[in-house]
A and B are shown apart, each in its own frame.
Chain A
């Protein structure tokens, strides 16, 4: 595609439910990043994939958060037992190499947990 695509653009869910957020990176980009942007804050790193493997998942806040990228392209961020504090905009970015500084960002998925 022309850019990084994230779906859905908005998601409202009830506390305790499970959600999946999808990221379609730019075709051919091997590196993929997830960030979380809470209200009034800058984006915070969650996880980085190089190909199919998670090269760095040190930013995942707890074991309710998990991400996969089974074929090295599309990635899904999964959140179990959602809490109100998970409400944020979840950003995805991709790049052709290993450099996050060359990455292109998607528009994000706004998650609201009620």
Chain B
């Protein structure tokens, strides 16, 4: 079945540090890939997405590239801010079912 594996947290970084959160997937067919973010006290929000191989999704300074050869979709940001502190979820959608498959989430804590 479909599955998503992402690095365990928490990840603690100083402000302006570089961020990488690893995500790999297993899927039948050709999935679309997503990163969702959950800020404290808020609902899940779509951060970025990529629908086919080599696509790069980007939003709010975050980027992720769909790598079919390594089945990966790592989230990156060059300079994190305290306001980026949240839980980040990698997810996939294959279209064969009406559901997103999520990873377990990675908590990011950014300190001054």
- Chain A residues 38-72 with CB under 8 Å of chain B are 40-45, 48, 55-56, 58-59
Contact B91 A98 (CB under 8 A): no
- Chain B residues 88-112 with CB under 8 Å of chain A are 89, 91, 93, 97-105
Task: State whether the Cβ of A112 lies closer than 8 Å to any Cβ in chain B.
Answer: no
Contact A101 B104 (CB under 8 A): no
Task: State whether the Cβ of A106 lies closer than 8 Å to any Cβ in chain B.
Answer: yes
* Chain B count of residues within 8 A CB distance of the other chain: 22
Contact A107 B93 (CB under 8 A): no
With both chains docked as a complex, state the minimum distance between the C-beta of A105 and any C-beta of chain B, in angstroms: 4
Contact B97 A56 (CB under 8 A): yes
Task: State whether the Cβ of B43 lies closer than 8 Å to any Cβ in chain A.
Answer: yes
Please list the residues of chain B having a beta carbon within 8 angstroms of any beta carbon in chain A.
4, 32, 34, 41-46, 49, 89, 91, 93, 97-105
Please list the residues of chain A having a beta carbon within 8 angstroms of any beta carbon in chain B.
3-4, 33, 40-45, 48, 55-56, 58-59, 91, 93, 98, 100-101, 104-108
